[in-house]
């Protein structure tokens, strides 16, 4: 009697043990495969070509910084020669004054003034593989939209992470990397805008402007902040002028 009664109990016990191990085993299998797949994806990205290509890109960026420094030095030398020559004749003095005005208008002179600071940044809470990742990070089109709004508000001079925005400036995006004036930049993007503060702030506050950015800030945590600021420094454009085909008329 005792033996007959113990058998179903033991079976139930075994089943309970089996079920107790089944759930962690399934979880274990799921996590092993997820981890293995993750490693596989990363190893595809980290193929042998990435390291030398990354090094090459960084070396070119370093070379660009050096070339820009040389260019600035030569522009300063030419300025000095022209300034000295302007004291020799009235005509040279007039040209020198015209040059100074044109350089300011073209963005080749640094400028300090009151305006607004805009900061655009990736969300700091979004996970790398999140479904809404695209909505939570900054894109080149966000930057062009912000520049457009600032000019619309009456901006006089703008820089993005110390890159002066001039007539040839483009915001270029490859993968998740953004270039302004051909220079590699990383978020946060600090956009310095010199101009009439109320008018520029009004343009940014206008509900019809930057709707997409404002919605992503509120929902996905995209970093977007506009603040009034005084004595903002906007550096001079330090890139090439690239006027080779166009002829003045």
Q: Which is nearer to another protein, 102 or 225 (CB)?
A: 102
How many of the other CB atoms lie within 10 Å of CB of 90? 8
Q: How far apart are CA 45 and CA 55, in angstroms?
A: 15
- For the CB of residue 129, give the shortest distance to another protein in the complex, in Å: 6
Structure-block tokens of residue 78: 């030419």
- For the CB of residue 173, give the shortest distance to another protein in the complex, in Å: 10
Q: Which is nearer to another protein, 211 or 225 (CB)?
A: 211
**Which one, of 161, 132, 160, lies nearest residue 144 by Cα?**
160
Q: Which is nearer to another protein, 121 or 229 (CB)?
A: 121
Residue 148 CA neighbour count, 13 Å, CB half: 10
Q: Which are the contacts of 47, defined by CB distance < 8 A and separation ≥ 6?
A: none
What Cα–Cα distance (Å) separates residue 81 from each residue in 71, 85, 96, 103, 108? 16, 6, 11, 16, 17
- For the CB of residue 203, give the shortest distance to another protein in the complex, in Å: 9
Q: Which is nearer to another protein, 40 or 230 (CB)?
A: 40
Q: Which is nearer to another protein, 98 or 205 (CB)?
A: 98
Is the CB of residue 193 less than 8 Å from the CB of residue 116?
Answer: yes
List the Cα angle 136/138/60 in 5-degree steps. 135
- For the CB of residue 199, give the shortest distance to another protein in the complex, in Å: 11
- For the CB of residue 116, give the shortest distance to another protein in the complex, in Å: 16
């Amino acid at each position: 009697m005792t033996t007959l009664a113990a058998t179903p109990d033991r079976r139930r016990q075994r089943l309970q043990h089996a079920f107790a191990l089944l759930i962690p085993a399934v979880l274990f299998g799921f996590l092993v495969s997820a981890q293995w797949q993750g490693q596989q994806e990363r190893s595809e990205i980290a193929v042998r070509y990435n390291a030398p290509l990354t090094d090459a890109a960084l070396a070119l960026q370093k070379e660009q910084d050096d070339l820009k420094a040389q260019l600035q030095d030569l522009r300063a030398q030419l300025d000095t020669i022209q300034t000295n020559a302007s004291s020799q004749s009235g005509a040279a003095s007039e040209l020198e004054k015209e040059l100074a005005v044109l350089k300011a208008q073209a963005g080749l002179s640094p400028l300090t003034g009151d305006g607004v600071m805009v900061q655009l940044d990736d969300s700091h809470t979004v996970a790398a593989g999140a479904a809404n990742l695209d909505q939570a990070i900054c894109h080149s089109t966000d930057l062009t939209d912000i520049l457009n709004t600032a000019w619309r508000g009456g901006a006089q001079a703008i820089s993005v992470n110390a890159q002066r925005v001039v007539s040839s400036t483009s915001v270029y995006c490859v993968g998740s990397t953004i270039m302004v004036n051909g220079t590699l930049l990383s978020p946060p993007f600090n956009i310095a805008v010199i101009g009439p503060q109320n008018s520029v702030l009004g343009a940014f506050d206008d509900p019809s402007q930057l709707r997409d950015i404002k919605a992503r800030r509120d929902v996905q945590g995209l970093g977007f902040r506009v603040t009034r600021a005084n004595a903002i420094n906007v550096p001079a454009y330090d890139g090439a002028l690239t006027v080779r085909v166009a002829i003045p008329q």
